[in-house]
Chains A and B, each alone.
Chain A
C-alpha cells in the first residue's frame, strides 16, 4: 500500500475558520478613503458613464433640470433641492469610487512587480540539448513556446512551466506568503508565474502566456475592475430597477395634469424631487459598489475570481466536490493503535514497529515512532544508535520498508508495509501468518483505516523463524470542526461529496466520520468529470477545487472551479478562480461570499423600495394640502412646512446612500441557515427597517432644516 511514498500534499493551512456568522471582514471604511475618492466621484458625473446606471442617470438629468429652473427663478428652496440632488449623484459615484479605490491600491502593488524584466531566451532548446543559443530580450517580446533560462536572484519574465531543473521561488509578490516554494519540472508543481523571483538554482521555463495577458496582468485588471462586466444577476436587478423607475416617472409626470385640474400646479423642482425620492436611488447608487466589493472580499481572502459571474455562481452552488486529503482530513494518516498478533506482546510489536520506522521520515512513519513513545514509553532511538543496522527504504515494488539488524550471532529483520507484501515476505521466509492477522487487517480496512503489517524474521542462515508480529492501525484524521461545517452546508441546502482515491470501504468510513453527504471512492479524473456532468444534468451547480493537470477538464466543467495556486498552469487556466493560498477548505468561504453578495443586493433593494412609503407621507401632503386641506392628515410626521418636508425627504434620500456605503462594501451579515430563516430575518431587518427608519430620519432632518431661512 503506497501510503509511505506519496509525498503528502500540503496540509490545509490552519483549522477551518470558526463557526457561527461568517462576516467576511473587508476592513473599516477610512474617512480619508472617502475624501480621496472624491475627485474620482466627480469625474464619474460624465453622462456617458452615468447612463450605465439608469436610476442614477435619471437623478442626474433631474439635477440638471432643477439647476436650470433655479437659475431662471432663483430661491432658497430651489437651490437647496438642486444642491442635494447633485450631492445624491456624487454620493452614488463616491460609493463606486471607494469600492474601486481599494482595488486600485492592490493593483499598484502588483504593478510594481511588473517592472520591465529582461529575459534570457534560449533558442533551439530541447531536453538534453547541449548548448542552446542564449540571447537577452525584453520580457515583453516573449511568445508562448519560447524557452527562457532563469537563475537565482532573477525574476521570472512570464508565466510558464518549468521544463528543466528545480528551484525555490519567492512568490510573495502575488500570494503575500514570504516562505519560498519549490518549483520543479514535470508533475503538478511545474507552474511558475511571471514577476516571481527565483531564490536558488536555475530552471528553464517554457513560456505559456502572451505578453500583456499574464497572470499578473489579469490580476491587475481584475482588482482594478477594468475588466468588470455586469453579472447576470446584476443585469436582471437593473432591469427591475429600471422598470420601477419608469413607473414612478410616469406616476409623477402624469401627476401634473391631475394637479392642474385640482388647482395646484406644481413647480418643476417639486416634481423632480418627487421622482428622485420615489425611484430606487439607494440600491441604484450602491449596486455597482456591492459587486466590486464582493470581488474585493474574495481578493482579501487571497482568492482571485476571473469573473463576477463566478462569484455569483458560487452563491448558487448545490454540490461541493471536496478532495478528501487536505480538505476533509489532515494531509496524512497517523498511527492510532498497535494490534498484536496472537501470542505477541503489545510492547514487542510497538518496539518492532518503532525500529522499522526509525529511518522512515514520512509523517506516517513519524507518527508510529511517536505512538510507540506515548503508549509504551519507548524512547525513539536515533539511527546512529543501532549497530550493524541496514535500513531498507520503501519502493513501489516491495511496498514495504524496514531494517536488517545483523547482530553477531542472531540476525533480525523487521518489515512493515502493505498487508499482502509483508505476509508474502513472511511466508517466503518460511513463516505462517496466523488467521487472526487477516482478521485484524480486514477489521481496520472496514473501519476506514489503513493497516500496516509488521513482520519479523530472526535467526542465522539456515534456521530462520518468520512471523507476523501484528498490525499498525493508520488512521485518517478528520480536521477539527469539519462535521459542523458540513451540517451547516446541509442547512444551506448544499450537498457535499468527498472525492478520494481510497477503496469504497475506507471511503465510506471516513465519509461517515466527517459527516459528508456522499463520497466518490477510487476516483479517477474521468469519474470526477462524469459525476459533475451527472449533477449538472439534474440542474445542479457544482463547485470543486483542483490543482493537477488531470483536474483541468473537471475544473473547466464545474460551475465554480477553484484552482490552487500551487497547481499547474493548465489547472489555473481551466478554473474560474485561483486560490493563492492553495487552501481547498476555502471553497466553503467562497460560497458564503457569493451568497453574501446576492443577499446584500436583495436587502438593499427591499430597503430602498420600503423607504418610499415614508417619502410619500412627507411629499404628497406638502404638495396638495394647500388645495385639499384634508390631505394634511397624511402629514403624520407633522413636518414643519411644505418646503421643509420636501427638503428633508431629499436630504434623507442622499444621506442614506452615504450611510449605507460601509454596509455595501462589507456586505450584510450572513449566517448560514435555511432559506426561510434567512428570508424572515432580512425581511424584518431591511423591509420593516426600511419602512420605519425614513419616518424617523425625515422627521429628524425636518427639525433642523425648519430653521433655515427661506424654508419656513
Chain B
C-alpha cells in the first residue's frame, strides 16, 4: 500500500469511527448530565466530601466550586512535586524546583499539560499516577462540568440555577471518563503500549549508543491523556515514544481518543436543547475547520518542501517518526492542536512554515474544532453567540440564540470571553519578546525563533500544552509566565461562561417564528465558520505575519 492510499484510508477510518460513536456517546453524556439518580459510589463520594447532591446551585456558587476545587488541586499537586524525594516509587528522583512545580501544577490542573520537563527524568511513578493522572481525569471533568452549566443556561428558564458542580464533576469522572479509560487502557496494552512498574533498563541503540529507559504504568495514563485532551506524556517524546505509541494502529486509536469526547458533545448539546439539528450545525463547523486544516497541513508537509533532503524523502520527513510517516503525523498534529490535547507524535518545530504555522493558527482558533473536553463546545458556543448577535441584527430583531435573547449583559460576558485568550497570548508573547533574557531561550533566530515563542504562549493560553520544541522553556521566566498564562486562559473564560450561563438561565425563552434567525442550516454553518476565521484571523494576523508568514513567503 502506498502512503497516499494509507493516508486516505486512516482518515476515512477515523471519521467513520467518530461518526459511529457520535450518537451513542453523545446521548450517554446527555443522560449523565440530566439524570436525577445517584449511584452508590457517587453517594459515597458525596458523603466523604460532605456535599449535598440534590442542591441546585446558582452560577456564583457553581463557580466557587470550580475555583475552590482547582485551587486545592493546584496546591496539592505543587506540594506533591516539591516533596517527591520523600515519597515511595520515586525511582530516586529529587524534589522538583519551585518554579517548575508551579508550572506543572498549573499545567495539569488547567488541562493544558504543558511540560517544561522530561517525564522520564523528572517524575517518579507515584507522582505520575497519584498526582498527574488524577488531574488528567478531574481537569477534563471540570471542563465538561462548566459546559454542562452553560447548556443548562440555554435549556432552563426563569431560574438562576445552573446545576450542581460536585455532582457534575463526580458523575463525569465515574460514569464517563473512568469506564472509557479503563477499556481503552486495555486496548492499548493489547496493542503494545507498556504497563508495568519497572525501573530503568539499559539498552543499546541501533547506532551502538547506550540509553537508559524506565518502564512505568504508561497505558493507563495514555488512555486518559488522549481521552481527556490532556496531552501530558509519560515520556518526554510523548506519543512519538514507542512505549507510548508503538504502532500505526495505536496512533490511530490515540487520535480517535483525543477527538472522541469533544466530537460527541455537540450531540449532547443537540439532545439537551431539544433540537438535534443545532448539534449537527455545530459539529459541521468543527468538522469543516478540522478537514480544512488536515488538508492544508498534509499538503504543506508533502509538497512545500524546499530542501534537497525533503525532496528525496518525498516530503518534510524531518522531525517525524518513520513508523508514522507524513500523513499520520500531520493528522495527529492537526487533531492535537485543534483539541487542546497537546500530545504530539512529531516535532511541530520541524514542520514546513505553512504546516507549522497552521498548528499555531489551530490553537489560536481557541480550541474549538472540536476543542477540549467541554471547553471546545463552550468556546464555539460563545463564538456562536457573537455570530448570532451580528447576524441577528441583520434580520431586524434583538438577536436571540436557542430562544434566549442576547442583550447587554449576555454580550458583556461573551465579549469578555472573546477578549481574554487573545489578550493573554499577545501580552505574554509581547513581554517575552521585550526582554533579552527570555529571548535567548529561542533555538532559532529570525521568524522561526519568534514562532517558537508565539507557539508557546498560544499553546499555554489555549490550554493546549503541546510545544513547538526548540524553546528552552524550563527557566524561571517561562515557567512563571506560562504558568500564569495557563491559569488565566483556563479560569477567567470559565468565569464568563458561568456568568453567561446564569444570565441565560434566568431568561424566559422567546418563541421561534419565521422572523427568528435559524441556527441549524448550512447558512449558519457558513456564517459561524466565517466569523471564527475572520475574528481570529484579524486578531493574530500581524503576529503570524512576523512568524510563519515571514518564514514561508519568498
Contact = CB atoms under 8 A, between A and B. Distances in A.
A707 interface: no
Interface in B530-547: 530, 534, 537-543, 545-546
B209 interface: no
A248 B412 contact: no
Contacts of B539: 247-248, 251
A682 B447 contact: no
B412 A239 contact: yes
Interface in B396-426: 396-398, 403, 406-408, 410-412, 414-416, 418-419, 422-423, 426
A358 interface: no
A602 B392 contact: yes
B410 to A, nearest CB: 8
B521 interface: yes
A261 B538 CA distance: 21
B553 A630 contact: yes
Interface in A288-313: 312
Contacts of A602: 390-395
B523 interface: yes
A253 interface: yes
Given A250-B427, A599-B396, A539 B510 contact: yes
Contacts of A236: 389, 406-408, 410-411
A233 B393 CA distance: 9
A613 B535 CA distance: 10
A605 B390 contact: yes
B485 to A, nearest CB: 13
Contacts of B514: 490-493, 674-675
B527 A240 contact: no
Interface string B323-354: 00000000000000000000000000000000
Contact of B394 (A250, A256, A610, A678): A678
A235 to B, nearest CB: 4
A27 B182 CA distance: 73
B429 interface: yes
Nearest to B547: A258
Contact of B397 (A250, A316, A539): A316
Interface stretch (A168-176, A349-357, A359-367, A590-598): A590-598
A540 B450 CA distance: 54
Given A254-B426, A613-B534, A634-B549, A598 B393 contact: yes
Interface of A is mostly: helix
Nearest to A492: B515
Contacts of B518: 675-676
A494 B397 CA distance: 12
B508 A539 contact: yes
Contact of B396 (A240, A258, A598): A598
Contact of B542 (A237, A255, A682, A686): A255
Nearest to B527: A683
A606 B389 CA distance: 11
A143 interface: no
Contacts of A243: 415-416, 418-419
Nearest to A238: B408
Interface residues of B, number: 65
A256 B553 CA distance: 21
Given A237-B393, A261-B433, A609-B534, A620 B426 contact: no
A657 to B, nearest CB: 19
Contact of B538 (A257, A278, A628, A682): A278
A687 B387 CA distance: 13
Contact of A679 (B391, B403, B513, B541): B391
Contacts of A404: none
B550 interface: yes
Contacts of A680: 523
- The size bracket of the interface on A is 35 or more
Given A232-B408, A494-B515, A599-B394, A539 B419 contact: no
A380 interface: no
B199 interface: no
Nearest to B430: A254
B397 A634 contact: no
B534 A610 contact: yes
Contacts of A318: 510-511, 513, 515
A679 B395 contact: yes
Given A254-B426, A539-B508, A539-B511, A620 B450 contact: no
A535 B550 CA distance: 59
Contacts of A257: 430-431, 433-434
- Which residue among A538, A602, A682 has the maximum number of chain B CB atoms within 10 Å of its CB? A602
Interface in A535-591: 538-540
A630 B552 contact: yes
Interface in B416-463: 416, 418-419, 422-423, 426-427, 429-431, 433-434, 439, 446-447, 450
B305 interface: no
B210 interface: no
- Which residue among A258, A628, A633, A680 has the maximum number of chain B CB atoms within 10 Å of its CB? A258
Contacts of B554: 630
A252 interface: yes
A312 B513 CA distance: 18
A612 B415 CA distance: 19
A605 B394 CA distance: 9
- Which residue among A601, A620, A679 has the maximum number of chain B CB atoms within 10 Å of its CB? A679
Contacts of B427: 250, 254
Given A236-B407, A634-B545, A606 B390 contact: yes
A670 to B, nearest CB: 7
B316 interface: no
A630 B353 CA distance: 13
A670 B395 CA distance: 9
B517 interface: yes
Contacts of B515: 318, 492-494, 674-675
A249 to B, nearest CB: 10
Nearest to A610: B534
Given A237-B393, A598-B393, 13 more contacts: A232-B398, A236-B389, A236-B408, A248-B538, A253-B430, A254-B426, A258-B543, A261-B433, A274-B542, A596-B396, A628-B553, A631-B550, A679-B517
Interface of B: 386, 389-398, 403, 406-408, 410-412, 414-416, 418-419, 422-423, 426-427, 429-431, 433-434, 439, 446-447, 450, 508-511, 513-518, 521, 523, 527, 530, 534, 537-543, 545-546, 549-550, 552-554
15 contacts: A235-B408, A239-B412, A240-B414, A250-B423, A254-B430, A257-B431, A258-B450, A318-B515, A495-B513, A602-B393, A603-B394, A612-B534, A616-B538, A631-B545, A675-B516
